[in-house]
Chain A
Amino acid sequence: MLAFTVRRLFSLLVVIWGAVTLVFYLYYALPGDPAEIMAGGNNRNPDPAVVANIGAKYGLDDPIIVQYGRYMWGVVTWDFGESFKDGKPVTDIIAERTPASLRLATWAMALEASLGIFLGVLSAKRKGSLADSATTIGAAVVSAVPVFVLAFLFQQVTGVYANTHDWPSWARLPVQGIGPNQWYLFVVPSVEQFRYLIQPAIVLATVSTVVVARLQRTTMLETQKSDFVRTARAKGLSEGQITRRHTLRNALIPVVTFIGIDFGTLITAAILTETVFNWPGLGSRLVTALDGRDLPVLVGLTTVVVLIYGLVNLAVDLSYGWLDPRVRQSSRGAS
């Protein structure tokens, strides 16, 4: 297990290096001259001395390979530089934004996983019934609605409509923002915090809930046909025991894999959710950095996102050992 983990962490470093290189390349492939844009080139023709000074200050005139080397050295020594836009150290931005993203993604994942698995098991148990069709169609409809449309609907109902029709304060929810930013044990929100968290978390969760539900349903149905389930039933175990201890545990493996991979989808879907709900996470900051040609922030935040994604997938792989004792990470097995 340890050797496996170490190998995976090493390959994660390689992935991060690849991602940073890609971001660098894309930055220079973007239209426009970064120094000119930073000097205000979208609104007027900037003074050439100003553009030259900006290019010199941020080393934008150096050959790309030199800038790249400089940044890679920075990444290695945990010096991510300062934002081109406001001079703030990128590590400060990361420190402020990463917890917000992690908390939102964790809750969205928890909601998506619990609701998806619940719906999937329900559909499998009631295969072919009205409940089966209704729940999966309902989840599909909600998942099909674009994130920002759903967000807008939520905001209009619990925010504007609630305000103009004087709903009681318990029925109203904040429209956007992170609020007091009070958390316990990192992920548990205070009661007031929960009111800010719940809408973005639900909206973000809807992106993949139906996929989890359908996947869970399929794997449950397949697992139910297995020999060991028939044996368990023949031996006289109750349906509930069979479902919980045998079918579900095995059916969860592909679903858990999916949820882990889907974390990547969450991070990207989170960009829209964070923007509409003004949740100060990594996604919305990345878009701002792209717009303003803010290279250090782009590189820094991308590194963090790739790192999180890699660690989550590692955790998923390590969880197989718990879910299915047959799959132990031996010196041979590296999936």
Chain B
Amino acid sequence: MIRTKRWRAPLAGVFALALLASACGDSKDDSSSGTETTEATAKSGGEFIDGAQLVADNLTSYDPGLVQTLDESQVTTAVYDGLTDFDFTDKVNPVLKGDGAERFEPNADATVWTFTLKKDLEFSNGDPVLPSSYKFAWERNARAGFASPYGYLINFVKDGASLQEEGSTVTTLDSIVADDTALTLTVTLESANADFAAIVTHPFFGPLPQTLVEANLDDWGTTAMVGNGPFKMAAAANETEVVLVPNDKWDGNVEGDTKPKLDKLTFKIQKDPESAYTDFESGNLMSATIPSGKYSQALADHNNTVSSGTLGVYYFQFGFVNNPQLSDEVRDNSLLRKAISTAIDREQINAKVYENSRTLPTGVVMPGIPGYKADLCEFCSFDLEKAKGLMEDWKADGGTIDGPITINFNTGGGHEDVVSIVQENLKAIGIESTTDPISEKYFGTMADGGCRFCRAGWYADYPTYGNFSYDLFSTDSVGGNNNGSFSDPKYDELLASAQAETDDAKRAELYQEAESYLLNDKMAVVPFNWYTGDQVYADNVTGYDQPPLGLILWEKVGLK
């Protein structure tokens, strides 16, 4: 047996050598500290390695005309600046300011907007940013053949829908007039909209370098795109990362920053959120998204953005068609709906399901939306006695429940736990309920009249009151994102006046009145919570925060 033992020594030797080799090979850590400067006081320079923004399963294209999720938008908005942007220095009272535009003015009835561009703005390759850069971009993004998921945004512009029609070969709009000499972009709208200047903050409405993009009309997103934002792409995105470097031709943002602090910004594409968080805790990534179940630990151990509110709301809507139990089709059931809303224990849901990471709502629309007013809703806090009282009033008025009510929700999103608490809450005021979990085409089914008491969530596309009030509850949105098919002429009228009102303060009041009617008169929707930030970042990182719209201002991020 002596001879067979002989091969163990060499084998052990090989392993020992391998270990030694790996030890000698690496003395430089994979940038756990990230600073390449040795001076502790330096607040500029260095490479930020991000592990929070890009998740492989979510990613679509970085092309501003095609971005769909917040993930790739982080890269796109670092590379492109638009006509306007919100200054979120005061997070509760954001101010819309000109970014690429020097001035932006509506006409008297908010049907025509004129944007006057700043002089001498350039893309990172030196091409000028002109009104025609915007006109070209909007028309290119809105083409039917391009099939942008946000193509419907062009419907705000007069005749925009003609570009979006299936099979349409229309490629230009006369309602967009670009005068490169006077540096003005004049846009005629399909209908009055005082918020249009806020809507164009969306990447869909950013500028594009016409000559370069024309050479690559549909595949622009796969190249190292040239933009006018604080950063530029060092190379085209690949399967593992996106690398950005500062754009020295950038003209600054609306909050007063004029130069990025970092030398290099690397977004590492993540596949598994748990692994990403582990990688962050091992010191290899400088940011990560907090996986569910880890909030308490993350809050205790790491710098985080959980206290920053974002523009998202989790809510349930009452179905207003095919729903005699809860709607007003047969009799006025608003007291019943108010009772239900008051019976929902939002604190318990936040504690049990969200580890207390969300914010309790006082209405549909949250701080960060211009025009937000606190404590709008009278029936949005948990109060069992009040709920029982409302139920009594409703019954005294002749209301009767003839069977369990149905709670609809989509599977796969972790909503089962929320729904089971809702069922308990309803039982406490004497209402039996059954669940209707739907795995396929949930939102389409709801919009087609399937909603009884249905779950939804909405994250703002751009920070306007109308993105919630109109997109979710107007008659025009029935069949779209108005899951409960709520339709009320008084509500629509209030919205229409708001959208045509060019005075910001008056417009805010009209939107508030509409929401108050929606909640306190009709009780058509039950807000459950407002979303908050969900990321952690390393100790040596400065300026890292998730603003309300969720798009991080990378020019503010620096390393100690």
Contact = CB atoms under 8 A, between A and B. Distances in A.
Whether chains A and B associate is yes
Interface of A: 31-33, 36, 38-47, 49-50, 52-54, 56-58, 82, 85-89, 93, 96-97, 118, 122, 125, 151-152, 155-156, 159-160, 162-164, 169-170, 172, 174-179, 190-192, 194-195, 198, 238-240, 243, 274-278, 280, 284-285, 287-288, 291-292
The 7 closest A-B pairs by CB, nearest first: A191-B25, A170-B23, A159-B282, A240-B3, A45-B443, A57-B147, A53-B147
A278 B166 contact: no
A89 B219 CA distance: 10
B240 A288 contact: no
Given A45-B447, A125-B4, A174 B148 contact: no
Given A31-B440, A40-B149, A274-B271, A45 B26 contact: no
B21 A53 contact: no
Contact of B152 (A31, A47, A280, A291): A47
Given A31-B439, A125-B1, A177-B240, A192 B25 contact: yes
B107 interface: no
Nearest to A158: B282
Contacts of A87: 61, 63, 66, 218-219, 221-222
B149 A292 contact: no
A40 B70 CA distance: 12
A174 B30 contact: yes
Nearest to A30: B440
Contacts of B281: 159-160, 163-164
Interface centre among B59, B60, B146, B238 (most CB of A within 10 A): B60
A291 B282 CA distance: 29
Interface in B15-38: 18, 21-27, 29-30, 32
A140 to B, nearest CB: 21
Interface in B234-279: 238-240, 268-272, 274-276, 278-279
Interface string B200-222: 00000000000000000011011
Contacts of A239: 1, 3-4
B433 to A, nearest CB: 24
Interface of B: 1, 3-4, 6, 11, 18, 21-27, 29-30, 32, 56-57, 59-63, 66, 68, 144-152, 161, 164-167, 218-219, 221-222, 238-240, 268-272, 274-276, 278-279, 281-284, 410, 439-441, 443-444, 446-447, 457-458, 479-481, 483
Interface centre among B29, B283, B483 (most CB of A within 10 A): B283
Given A45-B481, A239-B4, A276-B275, A32 B441 contact: yes
Interface centre among B240, B268, B271, B447 (most CB of A within 10 A): B271
B91 to A, nearest CB: 25
Contacts of A175: 275, 278-279, 282, 284
Interface centre among A31, A32, A58, A88 (most CB of B within 10 A): A88
Nearest to B153: A47
B4 A52 contact: no
A36 B63 CA distance: 20
B60 A57 contact: no
B239 A97 contact: yes
Nearest to A274: B271
Contacts of B447: 45
A15 B430 CA distance: 62
Nearest to A195: B22
A240 B22 CA distance: 33
B61 A160 contact: no
Given A31-B440, A88-B222, A195-B25, A44 B4 contact: no
27 contacts: A33-B441, A42-B410, A43-B443, A44-B458, A45-B444, A45-B447, A47-B152, A50-B147, A52-B166, A53-B146, A86-B61, A87-B66, A159-B278, A159-B279, A172-B29, A175-B279, A176-B278, A178-B240, A179-B30, A191-B21, A191-B24, A191-B26, A275-B275, A277-B275, A284-B56, A285-B56, A288-B271
Given A41-B444, A280-B240, A169 B61 contact: no
Given A163-B281, A169-B29, A172-B29, 13 more contacts: A36-B441, A41-B443, A49-B152, A56-B167, A57-B145, A93-B239, A151-B275, A175-B275, A176-B276, A191-B25, A194-B25, A284-B56, A287-B57
Given A44-B481, A50-B152, A292 B57 contact: yes
A279 to B, nearest CB: 9
A116 to B, nearest CB: 14
B27 A169 contact: yes
A67 B59 CA distance: 25
B476 to A, nearest CB: 12
Nearest to A190: B25
B239 A285 contact: yes
B4 A53 contact: no
Nearest to B154: A49
B145 A53 contact: yes
A49 B272 contact: no
Contacts of B68: 40
Contacts of B278: 152, 155-156, 159-160, 175-176
